[in-house]
Structure 1
Amino acid sequence: MQSNQTSTVNNMDVDVAIIGAGPSGAIAASLLRQQGHKVVVVEKQQFPRFSIGESLLPCCMQFIEQAGMLDAVNQAGFQFKNGAAFRHQSRYTTFDFTDKFTPGPGTTFQVQRGQFDKLLADTAISQGVDIRFGHQVDSVDISNEPTLQITDEQGHPYQINAKFIVDASGFGRVLPRLLDLERPSNLPSRSAIFTHIEDNISDSEFDRNKILISVHPEHKDIWYWLIPFSNNRCSIGVVGEPHLLAHLTGSLEQQLLAIIAQEPDLKRLLANAKVVQPCATLQGYSANVTTLATNKFALLGNAGEFLDPVFSSGVTIAMQSAVMACANLDKQLKGETVDWQADYAEPLMLGVNTFRTYVQAWYDGRFQDVIFYQQANSNVKQMICSILAGYAWDSKNPFVKESERRLNTIVELCRELDVA
């Protein structure tokens, strides 16, 4: 089942127009329909389609459940995930997401996004959501009540009149582009090269229930992800600043294989691997905006801000923003006044900025010193584990509430004790 759309291209009136049918769009549409609002989702692509962001965090599961999609996800046969493993040279450590500070789910899945995103969208459709695949947003006017000019998959134009627009377009960043909201990220420009492999991993000690993050043996700000799936395949990628990857030559596949070979454990682990997906690259992916929301639109997930793939926060931020936006939007559509800065943008940025603290500290080495510290205090590790599991909005967690100060304190302790 792909869509319940009709063949007509008549102008239409809705409460909410959602741009994008990925995880945040599908969940937002489901929640808004539950609340009794008329919603249409406009999706430029056809599903399934390839996407990265394949290692979900446990925090996501509560949002999936709120949208009435948990049974479908649990029954889909995705790879079970219970934590994260980190490796740098001879150092190896794991985080068990069930052993965390914050209440909530402690396990989740590693998913091939084409299948996962289609499942969420199809489930939303089965709930009665109108999703229009192959329909493109050409322009938006928010000078009065919002209107969107759309072209359908046959090239026919039509107009959607909405009371509110939700941008869940991810890296497409439709409203930031059309409304001139984009601004540079304060994070350095980085590049990623990635693909899917048939991994043929024979090492019995390799834990398929965890994402493996490996650090380059010489350059601590180059790292690799290895995300196992349930079908003897993995997602593999490398991330670094462009000048650190500039020495790589040949095709993207040759570049990726060459830099994998520089990490001895990955090279050994993937000795029998076969590339099964054309390699791709993503460059300068970190992004920011001037405004996350007004009383006419809200930006969800990557459409507003994308940090970095290192802690798999993208889908979590997308789903968290969907739930937060829909709660406020329900109030506005029922006649209540919503302060979108105070009620949506600022609470959302609490978690985004928590993730930002640890992303920046990963690349400058501070957080790596904490991750690989061997005599970690169990309570501190549980608090850090909660953030790695996606619970970056839990202000009861000291490492969320005062992320920078607390992190720097523990970094100093780890470094002092390591020297001692």
Structure 2
Amino acid sequence: MDQKKVIIIGAGPSGSIAAALLQKKGHQAIILEREVFPRFSIGESLLPQCMAFIEEAGMLQAVIEAGFQLKTGADFLCGDKRSEFYFADKFSPGFETTFQVQRDRFDALLATEAQAQGTVIQWQHQVLGADFSGAKPVLTVCDEQKATYQTEADFVLDASGFGRVLPRLLNLESPTNFPVRQALFTHIEDRISGADYDRKQISIVIHPKMADVWYWLIPFSNGRCSLGIVGEPRLFDGFADNQQAFHALVAEEPNLSALLANAVYDTPINGIKGYSANVSALHGKGYALLGNAGEFLDPVFSSGVTIAMKSASLAADVLDRQFNGQAIDWQRDYAQPLQKGVDTFRTFVTSWYEGGLQDVIFYNQQQPNIKAMICSILAGYAWDERNPYVKNSQNRLNTLVELCRITA
């Protein structure tokens, strides 16, 4: 079989993982990345399921040795209520820990590992056009010298994340059923000194008066952390700017205020609005969409990178089989399996904002076996259909919410 050429748009986690997997299968992966790494990105709290894809791509040892903050679970806080989930207690088999990562370092590491396996990365190359009408896809690209050229491939994978290159160029974007939400976030020197504070846990903190407003606190291994606030856009109205809004809203949450009493805010406040997205199709003639280029739900359970890596793994396998002349169906073999896990996450995200999942998380009579199944979802094992909360997520979770509310 002649070596096939796959162009991947974007060198983030899904792009680098897909490239490494394709190289391992004997195909040439070329990544076109519009920026230069390292570059800032959020999505810093990985899930244990990610580790399986990192291992599959031959990058596990490099990630382990990089010195990122070990992550063992998640703590949920709401006023004086606290609920802890440890991934070691999950229902599904698989990795029990993961990492909390600065994405500039993490993404650069994965890209470097992909290059070491033979991937070619063209930095500062931006895709301006895409033509899939011929025998092979043809992309129009602007390079780092602002010169435009065309390049041909056997297949194109869009791993452009929120850039959503092919959805925009091919008019694939479709409305999402999630309300528009906004996030403000920054990195701080946290100076958390409490002996009972566990840096191995992400903290998800609910606003004391608004149940649909929440904060993330993601500690890193260098004494810094990522801090963010999520709510509907009206939450941030009436403030002079993002900085004023951010500090005022952090001050409204007593748990965070106490924990970060000595923190140094030394980085500008960033924001993103209307980040939830969807598409009319995850694939077409000559292309497939990976990760956030296809669909993004919400940051609340840190599912974005996991979904991105899962899509990379699935797509590399289907594409390899296609290149080897096997009968494949992108809808059956890629879109539907990927969507199963995405739909599980969607069920949990929707229930979170409706308040039902919060009632489950803070229920004071939790049964260990049920908690283990919920923990598996929080650990990213949203494709394990041995878990009833994956196999029939909507009905199972709705029933659990009702039981918790009746017996609370």
Query: Which among 267, 270, 293 is matched to residue 303 of structure 1?
Result: 293
Instruction: Kindly provide the CA deviation profile for residues 41-68 of structure 1, in whole angstroms up to 9, marking residues without a partner as x.
Output: 0000000000000000000001000101
Q: Match for residue 399 of structure 2?
A: 409
Instruction: Kindly provide the CA deviation profile for residues 309-368 of structure 1, in whole angstroms up to 9, marking residues without a partner as x.
Output: 000000000000000011000011111222111111111000000000000000000000
Q: Match for residue 223 of structure 1?
A: 214
Q: Match for residue 210 of structure 1?
A: 201
Mapped pair 1:269 → 2:256: no
Mapped pair 1:32 → 2:11: no
Q: State the secondary structure of the residue aligned to 2:205.
A: strand
Q: State the secondary structure of the residue aligned to 1:188.
A: coil
Mapped pair 1:153 → 2:178: no
- Cα distance in 2, alignment partners of residues 81 and 75 from structure 1: 14
The residue type paired with residue 191 of structure 2 is N
Question: What's the offset of the Cα at 1:230?
Answer: 0.4
Question: What's the offset of the Cα at 1:277?
Answer: 2.1
Q: Match for residue 233 of structure 1?
A: 224
- Cα distance in 1, alignment partners of residues 398 and 119 from structure 2: 46
Query: Which among 234, 242, 250 is matched to residue 243 of structure 1?
Result: 234
Q: Match for residue 355 of structure 2?
A: 365
Query: Which among 305, 315, 319 is matched to residue 329 of structure 1?
Result: 319
User: What TM-score comes out, normalization by structure 1 length?
Assistant: 0.95
Q: Match for residue 346 of structure 2?
A: 356
Q: State the secondary structure of the residue aligned to 1:84.
A: strand
Query: Which among 230, 249, 252 is matched to residue 259 of structure 1?
Result: 249
Q: Match for residue 36 of structure 2?
A: 46
Structure 2: gaps (5+ residues): none
Mapped pair 1:114 → 2:98: no
Contact 1:14 1:40 in 2 (8 A): no
RMSD in angstroms over aligned alpha carbons?
1.0
- Cα distance in 1, alignment partners of residues 285 and 322 from structure 2: 8
Contact 1:293 1:299 in 2 (8 A): yes
Query: Which among 65, 83, 86 is matched to residue 96 of structure 1?
Result: 86
Q: Match for residue 76 of structure 1?
A: 66
Instruction: Kindly provide the CA deviation profile for residues 248-298 of structure 1, in whole angstroms up to 9, marking residues without a partner as x.
Output: x12312211110000001011111111232111100000000000124111
- Cα distance in 1, alignment partners of residues 267 and 131 from structure 2: 39
- Cα distance in 2, alignment partners of residues 344 and 44 from structure 1: 26
- Tell me the number of residue pairs that the alignment of Structure 1 and Structure 2 aligns: 405
User: What TM-score comes out, normalization by structure 2 length?
Assistant: 0.98
Q: State the secondary structure of the residue aligned to 1:205.
A: coil
Contact 2:200 2:219 in 1 (8 A): yes
- Cα distance in 2, alignment partners of residues 20 and 89 from structure 1: 41
- Cα distance in 1, alignment partners of residues 104 and 240 from structure 2: 28
1:385-400 equivalences in 2 (<5 Å): 385-400=375-390
- Cα distance in 2, alignment partners of residues 72 and 26 from structure 1: 14
Instruction: Kindly provide the CA deviation profile for residues 188-226 of structure 1, in whole angstroms up to 9, marking residues without a partner as x.
Output: 000000000000011111110010000000000000000
Instruction: Kindly provide the CA deviation profile for residues 127-154 of structure 1, in whole angstroms up to 9, marking residues without a partner as x.
Output: 1110111111010000111011111101
The residue type paired with residue 269 of structure 2 is C
- Cα distance in 1, alignment partners of residues 287 and 128 from structure 2: 16
Q: State the secondary structure of the residue aligned to 1:406.
A: helix
Structure 1: gaps (5+ residues): 1-12
- Cα distance in 2, alignment partners of residues 16 and 161 from structure 1: 9
1:153-192 equivalences in 2 (<5 Å): 153-192=144-183
- Cα distance in 2, alignment partners of residues 24 and 115 from structure 1: 15
The residue type paired with residue 377 of structure 2 is I
- Cα distance in 2, alignment partners of residues 69 and 407 from structure 1: 35
- Cα distance in 2, alignment partners of residues 415 and 300 from structure 1: 38
Identity rate of aligned residues, in percent? 59
Question: What's the offset of the Cα at 1:14?
Answer: 5.6
